[in-house]
Amino acid sequence: MGTYILRRILQMIPVVIGTTFLIYWMVFSLGDPTVGRCGERPCPESYVARLHEEYNLDKSLPEQYVRYMGKVLQGDLGTSFNGNAVIDQLATRWPVTIRLAVIAIIFEAVIGIAAGLLAGLRRRSFWDTLVFVTTLVIISIPSFVLGSVAQMVFGVRLGWFPVTATQGTWQQLLLPGLVLGSLSMAYVARLTRNSLSENLSADYVRTARAKGMSAGRVVGVHTFRNSLIPVVTFIGADFGALMGGAIVTERIFNIPGIGGYIYHSINTKDATAVVGTITLLVLVFLVMNLIVDLLYGALDPRIAHD
């Protein structure tokens, strides 16, 4: 196991270098990020020169990247153009987005797997059709429409949830978490249903039934665990995606999280803040993929990490 983890970490290094360089290149190759910092009037040359020197903008792009990664290795994600350290800004917003993503994952896993299990065990029945139609409707509705409707119905008219989540508490994030996880919930339900249906037709299931094993044991001990492998893969990868994909949801519910910070940084053309935030999200995504791979052995003992 230790050798496998070390090998995976070594494999992450070129991935981190490649993705962060592409991000850095795409953001800083769009033009001089200091343009427009002084409104409609051009900035004084002394001010532009100071920013270029401070952010290494007077160097070549590869040299800028090397200097930037040198700071990242020391835990410094840079300083935004307004003078605040990016890591400090993320430290205050990160817990809020983590809570939002955790709530979304819980809804996604519990409701999605339960619906998929019901549809898979009741194939071609009313419940299977209901799950199919419901997930199709959810997939078809854009997230900003779903968020606005949920905010109006459950927040304004029924008053079950707060309309906004400016404090980022668990209670305030329940409705945004449900909205954020709704699309993934639909995919999890369909993935669970298809995976379960496929495993129920496998030879080892027919053999277990022929030996007199009860239907509950066949499903609970053998079929369901094997069916969870692709589902766990999706949910694990989705957690990293939810961390950075919460921009629309955080804007609708006025949540002070990572998504709102990225949105504000893009609007203000704060390139350092954008690159620093996305770099951290890349690391989170890779770590989650490693954790998912380690969970495979727990779900299926035939999968060995050697």
Domain segments of the chain as ranges: 2-73, 87-299
Global confidence as pTM: 0.79
Dihedral-angle region of residue 8 (phi above 0 means left; psi in -120 to 50 means alpha; beta otherwise): alpha
Residues 6+ away with beta carbon under 8 Å from 197: 120, 123
Instruction: Give the right CATH number for 87-299 from 1.10.3720.10, 2.40.40.20, 2.30.30.60, 1.10.10.10.
Output: 1.10.3720.10
- The pLDDT score that the predictor gives to residue 61 is 81
Q: What is the mean pLDDT of each run of 10 residues along the chain (306 residues)?
A: 76 86 81 65 74 76 84 82 82 87 90 89 86 90 86 86 83 88 89 82 69 67 74 79 75 85 81 85 81 68 56
* The pair of three-digit structure tokens given for residue 134, joined into one six-digit string: 């419901």
Element (H, E) at 186: helix 174-200
